[in-house]
Amino acid sequence: MSTHPSGTVLPLSALVGKRRRLQDSRINMAHGSGGKAMRDLIQDVFVEAFDNPALNALEDQAVFSLASLATHGDRLAFTTDTYVVDPLFFPGGDIGTLAVAGTVNDLAMSGAKPLYLSCGMVLEEGLEVELLRRVVASMKRVADEAGVTIVTGDTKVVERGSADKLFINTAGVGIVPRGVEISASRAQVGDVVIVNGYLGDHGTAILIARNLLALSSDIASDCQPLASLIAAMLQACPDIHCLRDATRGGVATVLNEFAQSSNVAIRLREAALPLREEVKGACEILGLDPLYMANEGKLVAVVPRDAAAAVLAAMRAHPAGVDAAIIGEVGERPAGIVVLQTAFGGERIVDMLVGEQLPRIC
Amino acid sequence: MKYVDEFRDPEKARALSAEIRALIKTMPQARTRPLQIMEVCGGHTHTIFRYGIQQLLPEEVEFVHGPGCPVCVLPMGRVDDCVALAQRPEVIFTTFGDAMRVPGSKLSLLRAKAEGADVRMVYSPLDALKLAQANPSREVIFFGLGFETTMPSTAMTILQAQAMGLKNFSLFCNHITIIPTIKAILDSPDLHLDGFLGPGHVSMVIGTRPYQFIARDYGKPIVAAGFEPLDILQSVWMVLKQIAEGRAEVENQYGRVVPENGNAAALAAVQEVFELREFFEWRGLGSIDHSGVRVRAKYAAFDAEHKFPVPNLKIADPKSCQCGEVLKGVIKPQQCKVFGSACTPETPLGSLMVSSEGACAAHYNYGRVDTGFKRGGDEAARKVAA
């Protein structure tokens, strides 16, 4: 028990929990050493921002009561994703917004209510602490928006050149409500395909932010958590068949996964695809296909035809689904294949990408 | 999208498609076998597949996908040379994106990069020039490839490098020229072509006059064509009209971009920097006389082949590959022995499987199954809700 200079007794927690301001302006190897520098970093940057009882306890793990989890449903959803993006900040978001929204969305695509996230950080020696604070603040903001808590974490520092500034891993758990059975293998003949808005914004924003093209545009990433949108959709139709977020590989990749897992054909109508002029323009210049461009706040849903109107209405009433649209339908043949009915009147296959989309020479 | 959607109007497409069907009915030439029209340029191949244009044409008209994908006709030995240059420790090797995956005999540039070579994707040769300025202690090599379309920008880049006095920038020149190649195809004994869609972007540079021998000496119609789907349909109609009327002429559908005499400034830059090679090796087609260019001696300081040792080994195409026959239109991509089995976009054996403009990759990606979508079940009678 310590004694205050004035003679009054100070509670122990006031000392242990005391937050020391981190002195350094850049990350150095000591911040990953397990000693005082690391403790200061954790206290001043992470605990300060994320601030919740489970994390503040600074145990090696967060512990939850099973009974309280079970109030949300009957199955646990568990996922992990690692975020590496260049540049770290881009119009519409940063690596922190991605790291939270991405994992929240991966949980939510099962219909789960996302609850808790972990946060693992790999920091490159020399990283500016101020930049890290901005990223962490973004994580906190999106976590609050999505109704999740970041309850445990880990920090590693690697030597300059061994990582590119900052990598983040987040894992998450959520609870799937009873009766919800969403799976890529459940698309059925007659179902319709719905997206929640404009496609390809994130991929285009990143391309332009890298500034390799000397293009300028005010297009912003669509990075956003989708859990509450999905909750609204499930309310309109608890029997949503397939749901996936169209991140890397875009809508085309997700639909190919659905078509193959469900052994059905999916036909898209090019004229129905919600695409911004800027995205069409950038893709046109580079010879890229917006169907393969990454999104960070877009989902693809396959729903029974009878429920399509109700789901679409629920989506359009939600801020993350204002521009929702029906883009296609599920059929029998050719099984396992996605077909695009071009606005021009022809048809073509939309296949999985082999590697990265590469700009064409001429 | 303004100025683009006008050229993708489905109403006009249907009208043109109907005109073509009406025309073909009047043509006795189309009764014994389908008429074959070669689109020389890979950009056209891409448009044809991307918009499903073949389905808008009667079955009496077939496209033969020509040699105009510069990435596709690059021989393995030249890719090996690229890799050898890229593996030099002092070198930053810069390339257009779609050349990264072209297989050499051992490595592609993408794999060489993974093994430690400093290979960087650029969008323009001027990006490579900027890299050279920013990295004075390194040697920046630009992998120049393509037909007359990309040749002027490479030539201008060399002129600019000279004006800037750059000492660490050079070009690995693999530019090729289209006319001798069309001639080689026309001279091929197993050829059945009835007409050509002329390459629009090449024509923008060289004009339409260089094609006159095709009409005059070989009696084949050629129409310089644009790259939008309506451009292609209109050009097909123009070729068929010539055949129907017994004409063989050079016509220009792409008048909004292609001047008869080409682009004088671009041609002057090309003339200043490049000279014809005696011959150049093409993947699938073999060696074609005067079909490639090299950097003139007065610009040797910017010529990677002059500056660095280049292995320059000839590597035979894989025996099972039938890229040459596909390129000449003798067989269709799916008739090749290895199409879709040993040769796929994941593991391309032949170069035509590499770039999305390659005839085989386009067939594989967009057209390998009959797309005929069937609703099936009880839904067959219903209309699409959307």
pLDDT band of residue A4 (cuts 50, 70, 90) is very low
Let me know how long chain A is.
362
Question: Does the distance separating the beta carbons of A189 and B52 come in below 8 Å?
Answer: no
User: Which of B164, B140, B83 lies closest to B116 in space, CA to CA?
Assistant: B83
Question: Does the distance separating the beta carbons of B56 and A280 come in below 8 Å?
Answer: no
Q: Which range among A221-225, A279-283, A343-347, B309-313 shows the weakest confidence by mean pLDDT?
A: A343-347
Residue owning tokens 């000839």: B314
Q: How far apart are CA B34 and CA B382, in angstroms?
A: 36
Domains of chain B, by residue range, sit at 5-66+181-251, 76-178+262-307, 323-364
User: Which of A74, A92, A94 lies closest to A83 in space, CA to CA?
Assistant: A94
pLDDT band of residue A10 (cuts 50, 70, 90) is very low
Helix B264-273 to helix B151-164 angle (10° resolution) is 60
CB-nearest to A331 from B54, B97, B373 is B373
Which amino acid is located at A328 in the chain?
A: G
B-chain residues within 8 Å CB-CB of A327? Answer: 386
CB-nearest to B8 from A272, A309, A344 is A344
User: Which of B244, B246, B211, B243 lies closest to B225 in space, CA to CA?
Assistant: B211
CB B261 within 8 A of CB B207: yes
User: Which of B88, B95, B13 lies closest to B55 in space, CA to CA?
Assistant: B13
The nearest CA of chain B is from the CA of A351 a distance in Å of 6
What mean pLDDT do residues A39-67 have?
92
Domains of chain A, by residue range, sit at 21-176, 184-349
CB B129 within 8 A of CB B157: yes
Q: Give the model confidence (pLDDT) of A83-134 as tens digits.
A: 999 899 999 999 999 999 999 999 999 999 999 999 999 999 999 999 999 9
CATH H-level superfamily of B5-66+181-251:
HypD, alpha/beta domain 1 (3.40.50.11750)
A-chain residues within 8 Å CB-CB of B103? Answer: none
What mean pLDDT do residues A57-64 have?
90
Residues pairing with B184 in the sheet? none
> Residue A356: its pLDDT value, please?
67
| Burial grade of A137 (CB within 10 A; 0-12, 13-18, 19 or more) | middle
Q: How far apart are CA A255 and CA A268, in angstroms?
A: 10
Enter the tokens of residue A66: 């099973």
Nearest Cα residue in chain B from A339: B371
> Residue A20: its pLDDT value, please?
61
User: Which of B214, B216, B145 lies closest to B174 in space, CA to CA?
Assistant: B145
> Residue B1: its pLDDT value, please?
76
Q: Give the model confidence (pLDDT) of A182-197 as tens digits.
A: 999 999 999 999 999 9
Helix A129-146 to helix A95-108 angle (10° resolution) is 30
Residue A283's Cβ-side half-sphere holds a number of Cα atoms within 13 Å equal to 22
Question: Does the distance separating the beta carbons of A349 and B373 come in below 8 Å?
Answer: no
Nearest Cα residue in chain B from A266: B373
User: Which of A205, A220, A361 lies closest to A282 in space, CA to CA?
Assistant: A205
Question: Does the distance separating the beta carbons of A349 and B346 come in below 8 Å?
Answer: no
Q: How far apart are CA B99 and CA A316, in angstroms?
A: 43
Residues pairing with B223 in the sheet? B197, B251
> Residue B381: its pLDDT value, please?
37
- The string of DSSP codes covering A244-297 is EE--TTHHHHHHHHHHHHHT-EEEEEGGG----HHHHHHHHHHT--GGGS--SS
User: DSSP code of A3?
Assistant: B
Topology of the domain comprising A21-176: 60s Ribosomal Protein L30; Chain: A; (3.30.1330)
> Residue A344: its pLDDT value, please?
86
- Give the pLDDT means over successive 10-residue stretches in chain B (386 positions): 83 94 93 91 88 90 87 88 97 92 89 96 93 97 95 97 97 95 87 92 96 97 96 97 97 95 96 96 88 97 96 84 81 89 84 77 73 60 37
Helix B42-50 to helix B229-244 angle (10° resolution) is 110
**In this prediction, what percent of chain A has a pLDDT beyond 70?**
92
Q: How far apart are CA A77 and CA B151, in angstroms?
A: 56
> Residue A1: its pLDDT value, please?
40
> Residue B3: its pLDDT value, please?
77
CATH of domain A184-349: 3.90.650.10
Mean of pLDDT over chain A: 91
> Residue B321: its pLDDT value, please?
83
Cα A193 to its chain centre, rounded Å, is: 21
User: DSSP code of A21?
Assistant: P
Distances (CA, A) of B73 to A110, A312, B77: 47, 49, 12
Q: How far apart are CA B139 and CA B120, in angstroms?
A: 13
A15–B contact, CB cutoff 8 A: no
Distances (CA, A) of B145 to A122, A155, B158, B171, B248: 40, 47, 14, 10, 32
A-chain residues within 8 Å CB-CB of B99? Answer: 361
- Count the Cβ atoms, other than its own, within 10 Å of residue A4: 9
A66–B contact, CB cutoff 8 A: no
Residues pairing with A267 in the sheet? A329, A339
CB-nearest to A332 from B14, B99, B377 is B377
Nearest Cα residue in chain B from A326: B386
Q: Which CATH number fits domain B76-178+262-307: 3.90.480.10, 3.30.70.360, 3.40.140.10, 3.40.50.11740?
A: 3.40.50.11740
> Residue A239: its pLDDT value, please?
96
CB B116 within 8 A of CB B68: no
Q: How far apart are CA A168 and CA A175, in angstroms?
A: 23
Question: Does the distance separating the beta carbons of B386 and A329 come in below 8 Å?
Answer: yes
What mean pLDDT do residues A165-193 have?
97
